[in-house]
């Protein structure tokens, strides 16, 4: 991963640990005599996607390491829905892209019901094409039909910001947008229903890798709008590289990266939040899907890089203990 930032993770850690703690609200779930919470379900993503794969491994680890008696990964349409489920007590944990979290918190300024436990991996924005599409830049998407992600997904949120930054929204050049999830979107791309597909995920995206194994595909460099995104949405977007060989016959390409955060409600007990953080840091080897090349960075220094989203006070204490 390539990260452009003017502040080191160590400095960020020191800054965040210096922030005043927030008083915890009443506990969200009862604990048994061993200190386990009864249930920790994780709002994740579509079955087969990286969100769901990671959440499935995390739920298993939570039970095996005696953090929770029961836990399961919940199928969802990803980030925005996950935050809604978390805030509505339909899940105890949620995965969400940092920019979607930022948007959620800004649209709910009177509420501080969700807080970050840590950044669990990097997401890479994919703009997927057929090689014969004639699309060589974002501007070439003008007038085309594109899949922009399922409603409420992080793909859709970031994709809208990219299109806006490229001046492709609200004009006669605007592309026709179809809100496909990634599985339906890849099918539509393969059948020629759409000219391009937006997709956000860890590396590699399994379904994309499967399609690329039998179908010629290309990836578009969308990093040209990174300066505009950073100016409007500070501390959220990175320049990253999808390496050559990630997908068959596709060369390396620059793109935009956003951290994927593990979120909890503010009323989670501090001891429980700390236990989850320590599991993430100390049992990272249990949390890497077999297909993944993008979830190897679960250390205190990388976990704490939450794009300026507030850390749960229990998580902050755990990072202080882990950091020494």
- Does pLDDT of 17 surpass 50? no
Would you state the pLDDT for residue 18? 44
- Confidence band, pLDDT 50/70/90 cuts, at residue 84: very high
Res. 2 pLDDT band, cuts 50 70 90: very low
Is the N-terminal amide bond of 252 cis, ω within 30° of 0?
Answer: no
The pLDDT assigned to 251 comes to 96
* Model confidence pLDDT, tens digit, residues 147-180: 999 887 889 999 999 999 999 998 888 999 999 9
Task: Supply the pLDDT for residue 122.
Answer: 87
Looking at residue 19, the DSSP 8-state letter turns out to be: S
Give which of 89, 86, 88, 76 is closest to 117, Cα–Cα.
Answer: 86
Q: Which domains does the chain have, with CATH numbers?
A: 37-323 (3.40.190.10)
User: pLDDT tens-digit profile of 212-259?
Assistant: 999 999 999 999 999 999 999 998 999 999 999 999 999 999 999 999
DSSP class of residue 108 equals T
What is the tens place of the pLDDT at every residue in 30-57? 454 445 799 999 999 888 778 888 999 9
Structural tokens at position 81: 């829905």
Using CB atoms within 10 A of its CB, is residue 22 exposed (0-12), middle (13-18) or buried (19+)? middle
Q: What is the pLDDT of residues 87-117, one digit of tens each?
A: 999 999 999 999 999 989 888 765 668 999 9
User: So what's the pLDDT on residue 298?
Assistant: 72
pLDDT tier, 5 (very low <50, low <70, confident <90, very high otherwise): very low
Residues 18-31, mean pLDDT to the nearest whole number: 40
| The 3-state secondary structure of 38-67, one letter per residue | EECCEECCCCCCHHHHHHHHHHHHHHHCCC
Q: Is 207 helix (H, G, I), strand (E, B) or coil?
A: helix
**pLDDT for position 197:** 98
Average pLDDT of the chain to the nearest whole number: 86
Token output for 60: 């298993």
């Amino acid at each position: 991963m390539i990260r452009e930032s003017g502040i080191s993770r160590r400095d960020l850690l020191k800054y965040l640990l210096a922030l005043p703690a927030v008083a915890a609200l009443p506990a969200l779930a009862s604990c048994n005599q061993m200190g386990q919470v009864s249930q920790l379900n994780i709002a994740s993503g579509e079955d087969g996607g990286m969100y769901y794969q990671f959440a499935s491994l995390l739920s298993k680890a939570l039970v095996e390491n005696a953090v929770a008696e029961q836990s399961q990964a919940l199928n969802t349409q990803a980030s925005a829905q996950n935050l809604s489920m978390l805030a509505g007590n339909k899940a105890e944990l949620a995965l969400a892209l940092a920019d979607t979290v930022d948007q959620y918190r800004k649209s709910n300024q009177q509420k501080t019901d969700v807080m970050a436990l840590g950044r669990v991996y990097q997401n890479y924005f994919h703009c997927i094409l057929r090689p014969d599409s004639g699309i060589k830049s974002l501007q070439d998407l003008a007038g085309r039909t594109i899949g922009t992600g399922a409603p409420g997904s992080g793909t859709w949120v970031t994709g809208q910001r990219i299109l806006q930054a490229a001046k492709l929204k609200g004009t006669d050049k605007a592309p026709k947008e179809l809100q496909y999830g990634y599985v339906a979107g890849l099918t539509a791309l393969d059948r020629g229903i759409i000219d391009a597909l937006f997709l956000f995920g860890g590396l590699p995206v399994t379904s994309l890798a499967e399609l690329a194994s039998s179908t010629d595909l290309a990836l578009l460099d969308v990093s040209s709008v990174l300066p505009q995104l950073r100016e409007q949405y500070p501390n959220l977007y990175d320049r990253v590289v999808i390496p050559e060989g990630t997908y068959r016959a596709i060369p390396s390409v620059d793109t935009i990266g956003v951290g994927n955060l593990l979120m909890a409600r503010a009323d989670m007990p501090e001891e429980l939040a700390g236990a989850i953080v320590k599991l993430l840091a100390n049992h990272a080897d249990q949390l890497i899907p077999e297909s993944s090349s993008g979830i190897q960075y679960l250390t205190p220094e990388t976990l704490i890089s939450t794009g300026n989203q507030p850390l749960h006070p229990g998580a902050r204490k755990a990072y202080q203990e882990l950091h020494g």
